[in-house]
Amino acid sequence: MQLFKLDIKRTALVFIVTLLVLYGGKAASYSLQVRKPLDEFFSQQAEVINYTVGQCKDGLCVSVELGDVEDIQSQYVQLWAGIAEATGRIPGSLSIVDRRNRELEGTFRHMRIHIEEALCRGSFYTMSQAIAEKAEEAGLDRWDVGVDSDYIYVQLHKGGSYLYEIIPRETGARQHSSATLSNLQSRLTGSAV
């Protein structure tokens, strides 16, 4: 069959083959530029249990399941910088998956009012004291609160369960600015005796 002296079957076949080559090239490029470097980076991170990566409207979206870490603040900043370095892209988002339970979620809910107040007033020392009181009342094994220019980092530990919350200091702000380990400005720490 011909239309305007073109063989429609042959033209359609060339079009389909071209699309397959372009899609295959894009998939291979993604694998070489994103998947492989992330596999290498995460294989070197002892605290990382698992991770997933995908595309979202803001770019590369990464979700990382972490084990029981000592310091979520430095771990988060290290992951953010490592992902950016490995892929050459600033991630659109970095989500942390923890092993929380209802008890830890309830304790965090009671702490949240102090966090919100600190965000409004800048009273981070008072927030840290209030969180320490709530943590002691809840009988937590360990807790930690960190603050930098972008986030408040809260981690709660009891038994084999742990909760990590990374709360942006600005409403509607990007999930993270370009971060390095030198971005750590202030750490407020508490632990049960």
CB 166 within 8 A of CB 76: yes
Q: What is the pLDDT of residues 4-41, one digit of tens each?
A: 666 677 766 666 766 655 555 554 455 455 678 888 88
6-10, 39-43, 49-53, 93-97, range with the lowest pLDDT = 6-10
Name residue, tokens 């492989």. Answer: 36
Please name the residues in contact with 79: beta carbons below 8 A apart, sequence gap of 6 or more: 45, 48, 64, 94
Q: What is the pLDDT of residues 106-156, one digit of tens each?
A: 999 999 999 999 999 999 999 999 999 999 999 999 999 999 999 999 999
Q: What is the pLDDT of residues 174-187, one digit of tens each?
A: 444 433 333 333 33
CB 67 within 8 A of CB 59: no
- Element housing 5 (H / E): none
Domains of the chain: 6-96 (3.30.300), 99-191 (no CATH)
